[in-house]
Structures are given as C-alpha cells and as structure tokens.
Amino acid sequence: MVRFLFLVAMPEEGKHLEKVFDLTKDDDTAAGNPFIDLYSNTKFCCSGSKNDEEDKKTTKRQIFMVVPKRDKVHNCPSISSESAAVCAFSALNLLVPIFGAFDLVVSAGTCGGIQQPLDVFLDEEQGTSTTTATTTTTTAMQQGDVFVAKQIRYLNRFIPFDEYKQYLHGSGYKLVDPKRVKTAILADKRNKDTLRVFEGNVATSNTFVTDDSIPLQEKAHVCEMEAAAQARICCLMNDVPFTAVKIVSDVDLSIRRRDDEGGTGACVFGFFGPRSGKSGERVQGARGKLEWYCGVRHWYVRRAGQTTKRHLHA
C-alpha cells in the first residue's frame, strides 16, 4: 500500500489533481472537521466493518488531497502559513490513525519566481545545470517552471535573540531528497522534453513579495505561503516524509489588483483559467504546463509503489 497526501492552499490549485487522480470529496471521513475539505480516491467509508478492512487490503494506493475551508468570517480562501500549519496537522491527526502512516506528503501549488543571475540555477555541488529538460539555463526563470524544494525557510522573520535564529528561519526540518524527486518527475520522456524542473530554495512568507532584494539576499528562488509551516508539522508528527513541488505562476511582475492587466494579480488568477486580453494570452501556455505538472505527480505516485522506501527518502 502506498499512501500520499497533497496539501494545497486554494481550490483552484487542486482542480487538476482531482481530475488526474480521480479524487472525490470525502465528507464522511472529514465530518465535523472545521479546518479542511478532504478529497480522496478511497471509495470506502471508515465505519470499522469487515468490508472496510477488505477494501483497505485491495486498494494499492491511497491518494488524499486537503484544501483549507474558506474563512467563515471573511468568506475567502484560507491562505497563509497559519492556515497551512493548521491544515497539515489536522489532516495527519485525522488520517494517520484511520489509514496508517503516509509514504509522502507533498506541498503542491503555485509560487512566485524571483528572477536572478543565471548562475544561481547551477547545481553548486555538481557544477552543472539543475534542469534536465531540453531547454537550458540560458533562458531565465519562466512562468510554468517547476521547483522541487532543496531547502525551505521563512522569509523576513526577526527576533533579536540568538537562540531563535534557526527557529525563525525554519530551515532545519528534514526534506525528501530533491534529486530523487526530480529524477522521478523526469523519468517520463514526455516530462523530460516538456518541463523545466529545478531544485530550488523555497521561501515562505505571509505576504506577496514587493521587493526582490530580501529574497535574493536569502538566496531564495521562489516564494510562497505554506511550505515552511507544513515542513515543521511533518517533522513534529513523527518525521513524515515531506517535499514541496511548486510551479511558477509569475516572475517579477508589479503588484497590482486582480483585474489589472500585466500585474501579479492578473497573472496568478489567470494561471488557473482563460482570460481575455494580453495577460490572458500569456498565461495559456502556463496553464498547459500546470496540467503536465499534475501529470508528473500522477506518474510519480504510480511508480513510487515499488520505490518509496529505497529511492525517495533522503
């Protein structure tokens, strides 16, 4: 039995996962949970009956996806590291006693790219490009690039006491070896020829980054709002294997409202569906890559049944 959990921040980020893995909303298992909406490919209810036990034995892989419930006060998606931590804990606390330990937890979704000198993309250990797709690092970071976390840390947190330095960074929590994750992704020739996949440093912040100087100083490749909090929860809850796989939705765009052309708002929301105008045209290719991105995870999970213990764990 192989068991995977995908953590996403917004419903839009989970739509393709639902389709690829044939996930359906599971209101029975998550009944009464105030924090998460649960989706799974596990068709049985956990009533404790003999049939439930037989179903567990015959199901070769169990895929779960968790999406935070909408904020009931402000009626908006519950994004941020706070929500990410609560949902990761709530999901593991709910599911592990019922189904057993997870082979992998994936923080999946979009991120903002931090454009930087091209040599930042070079593998410091190997001295070679971290991308194995047909394109090379002669092209700067693009919308649709995929990043596998080799380090995750918080951005712009500060307390003036030495004992809190590493805690505030949040960078000491164990991750699945990114090289092995990337190798699994690119083992499919279609993905190798289509995707640009990088091992990168993921920075978690509770705000859209308006000044690249801080992420550049911290050697961050991409910024998002969940992974550092989720990594800590997985570490504290018996070192559940954890990785973050993020796709770039925007790179170095001005911070503007959602309905403005050419800014981060238009680009991020347009990433999930068609829009009219120039920014709508720009995001269509990226949306195609998002579909491939979910296909990547499909391949990864489908093949991981034979290799999880031997190949995925750092």
d(CA 36, CA 107): 15
Domain with 88 in it: what CATH number? 3.40.50.1580
Q: Which amino acid is at 57?
A: K
**Residue 49 pLDDT > 60:** no
Q: Which domain holds residue 59?
A: 2-312
Helix (H), strand (E) counts: the chain: 10, 9
For the chain, what percent of residues have pLDDT higher than 70?
A: 62
Res 163: pLDDT: 79
What's the pTM value of the predicted model, to 2 decimals?
0.74
Res 252: pLDDT: 60
- Tens of pLDDT along 249-290? 877 644 333 444 443 333 333 444 433 333 333 333 444 444
Res 278: pLDDT: 35
Q: How many domains does the chain have?
A: 1
CA 221 and chain centroid, separation? 15
d(CA 73, CA 96): 30
Kindly state the average pLDDT of the residues 287-314: 38
- Would you place residue 57 in the very low, low, confident or very high pLDDT band (cuts 50, 70, 90)? low
- Would you place residue 17 in the very low, low, confident or very high pLDDT band (cuts 50, 70, 90)? confident
Looking at the chain, which runs of residues are DSSP E strands? 2-7, 24-25, 36-40, 61-68, 104-113, 146-154, 197-204, 222-224, 242-251
Average pLDDT of the residues of the chain: 73
Look at 147-151, 206-210, 221-225, 261-265 and tell me which has the smallest mean pLDDT. 261-265
d(CA 51, CA 41): 17
Res 53: pLDDT: 58
- Tens of pLDDT along 157-168? 777 777 777 776
Kindly state the average pLDDT of the residues 73-97: 95
50-54, 194-198, 306-310: which has the highest mean pLDDT? 194-198
d(CA 220, CA 242): 19
Res 206: pLDDT: 84
